[in-house]
Each structure stands twice: as structure tokens, then as C-alpha cells.
Amino acid sequence: MSPNAIGAALMMGSMAAFTLSDTAIKITDGAVPLAQLLTIRTALTGLLVLGLALAMGRLHFRMTRRDRQLIALRCVAEIGAAYFFVTALFNMPLANITAILQALPLTVTLCAALFLGEPVGWRRLTAIVVGFVGVMLILRPGPEGFTMDAVYALAAVACVTARDLVTRRLSTEVSTLSVTFITSCAVFAAAGGVQLTQTWVPVDPLHLKLIILSSVIIAAAYFLSIQVMRVGEVSFVAPFRYTGLLWATGLGWLFFDHWPSPLTLLGAVIVVCSGLFMLRRNRIRQGKP
């Protein structure tokens, strides 16, 4: 297999893993309080990421003061993203929340232009606007305004956008696995701190197995997503991230009997097409055919 083909396979594998992990959490259906669930999952995920980092020799904490400050900001954004995303996940169809997250390349590009001064031409700005129209078709706010589910979903997108923008400012010398491990510890500390104010609820064996399964799968997803960046051309591999939407649609129908409405599917198609157009424009700007 060529490097690009391997990179595409790794990207599809990572998207499948992230979606499977979300599915396992959604099946618990709120039976485990959110803080307790995140405490258990991040503890297990952190240990798995730690083992992976040690095995690959990629765990080190030598970094500049600037990088430490950026990682602290990233941790805050990740804590917010975990809370808002899991809350929305429990209350929205899997395909819907996954489709909304596909707008991330658009929000990251827009915010990079607004806050980091990165140039964005009118074509890409048009693609961003069109993509947001697709998101509104998925959310479809009624006359009463946004539902709380929609607010949580958009808040999750905002937090992940902030996290990704901060990540882009980190020095190349900073180990990705080290950042992932530190972030897992931060989410564990935040969730654990909240859990200390609450009563620990006995966890049903099935739900515990689902949380453990989610932790193992998401650790595998982190590994695959890291490997993706080391194989093939990013501009070739990146479009395969949208296969996550296919997994979410199929798993949502299989486990929750949710099938997206025609308007949701249309919105998802618009978001994906906008993202693909953005990737194409980036490739052209880099002088690639």
C-alpha cells in the first residue's frame, strides 16, 4: 500500500474508533452521573495513553513556559468540550451530533482568520457561511429559539475549536502523547473534583463494561489519529475524516433506531461538501494539483 492509502485507512480507522467510543457511552443512557462517568473514563484512558506514550518513548514534560500556558488553556477547553459533548450526546441522535462536529474545519479556519490573522479568501469564507447553513438545517431551531441540546452541541464545537486553535500554537518539540496525557489528567481532576461533591452511584456491570470499552477504543483512536499525521499527505488523508458520519448514521440506526431526517441528511451533505471545498482550496493555495 502507498503511504497515502495507509494514511486513508488509518484516518477511517480513527473515525470509526471515535464513533464506536461515543456509541458505547450513549448506550449507558445517563444511568451513570456525568461527573462519575467522566472520572472513570478519563482515569482509564489516561492510564492507557500513559502506557502508549512510554512504549513509544514519547512521554516528556520538557517544554517552555509559553507551551505550558498553552497546554493549560487547552485543558480548560477540553474540560468544557467533554462536558458539553457528552451532555449533547445523551440528548441528540448520534448522527446529528457527529454531523455538527464535521463543521470543525470551518470553525477552526474562521477563528484562525479572526484571532490569529491567517489569510482567508472570499471563496473559503463563502464555504464557511454555506457550511453554517448546513449546521442550521441539522439543528433546525424552532420559533421558540435554540433548544438546550442545540446550545450544548454548539458549545462543544466552540470548545473543540478553541482547543484546536491552541494546539496549533504549540511548539513542534512538544510531544502529542504528552499533551494527550496531560489533558486526560486535567479532565479527570475536574470530573473527580465535581464527583467529590456528589454521591458515588453503584455502576451496573454492563454499564461499567461499556465505559471500559469506550476508554480502550478512544485510546486506540488517539493512537490512530497520531499515526495518521505521520503517514501520507495531510491534504489527501483529511477528507476521510468524514467517514465518521457514515459510522454514526449506521450505528445510530443499529443501536438507537435513529435515522436522520431528509433535512438532517441535506445539512450533513452541505457541511461535508463545504469542508471538502475548503480542503481543495488549501491544496490549491499550497500549489498542489
Q: Answer yes or no: is pLDDT of 145 > 60.
A: no
Other beta carbons less than 10 A from residue 197's beta carbon: 7
Q: Answer yes or no: is pLDDT of 280 > 90.
A: no
Taking residues 83-109, report their average pLDDT: 92
C-beta of residue 38 within 8 angstroms of C-beta of residue 191: yes
- Residues constituting the chain: 289
Q: Answer yes or no: is pLDDT of 137 > 80.
A: yes
Domain ranges of the chain: 3-285
For residues 164 and 229, the model is more confident at: 164
- Which pLDDT tens digit goes with each residue over 123-132? 888 999 999 9
253: left (phi over 0), alpha (psi -120 to 50) or beta: alpha
- 287 pLDDT band, cuts 50/70/90, is low
Other beta carbons less than 10 A from residue 189's beta carbon: 14
- Which pLDDT tens digit goes with each residue over 34-61? 999 999 999 999 999 999 899 988 888 9
- 140 pLDDT band, cuts 50/70/90, is confident
Taking residues 240-250, report their average pLDDT: 93
How far does CA 123 lie from the centroid of its chain?
26
- 268 pLDDT band, cuts 50/70/90, is very high
What pLDDT score does 115 carry?
Answer: 84
Mean pLDDT, rounded, of the chain: 90
Taking residues 2-25, report their average pLDDT: 92
What pLDDT score does 144 carry?
Answer: 53
- Which pLDDT tens digit goes with each residue over 180-201? 999 999 999 999 999 999 999 9
Q: Answer yes or no: is pLDDT of 143 > 70.
A: no
Say which range, 86-90, 149-153, 278-282, has the weakest mean pLDDT: 278-282
Q: Answer yes or no: is pLDDT of 288 > 70.
A: no
Taking residues 10-32, report their average pLDDT: 94
What pLDDT score does 91 carry?
Answer: 92
What pLDDT score does 72 carry?
Answer: 96
Name the residue type at position 195.
Answer: Q
Q: Answer yes or no: is pLDDT of 262 > 80.
A: yes
Taking residues 235-245, report their average pLDDT: 86
pTM score of the predicted model: 0.90
Q: Please, which residues have CB within 8 angstroms of residue 74's CB and are 6 or more apart in sequence?
A: 163, 166, 167, 170, 179, 183
